[in-house]
Amino acid sequence: MDVSPKKAADWLTADADVQDRKLRQSWVSQLASDMENGKFLVTHQAIAFDEDGHRIDGHHRLEAIV
């Protein structure tokens, strides 16, 4: 699934109670650069949600998309 910047932002703000690890801006910048330059590798890691629809993985990837 392709994720637009708007959808990424929506997912980031949907759960105010999500306890994300500390955002590393340098990693977000690297991911964003890789995405822009066609160097982002698709792997088994994804944006993950639990059975209740709460985001549980993908914070840095979503920030990079935004």
Contact 21, 59 (CB under 8 A): yes
Which token pair is 29? 């910048």
**Given this model, what pLDDT does residue 19 score?**
78
**Given this model, what pLDDT does residue 24 score?**
95
pLDDT < 50 stretches in the chain: none
Residue with tokens 């990837």: 61
Residue 11, C-beta contacts closer than 8 angstroms, at least 6 positions apart: 3, 47, 55, 58, 62
**Given this model, what pLDDT does residue 43 score?**
82
- The total of other beta-carbon atoms located within 10 Å of residue 63's CB is 20
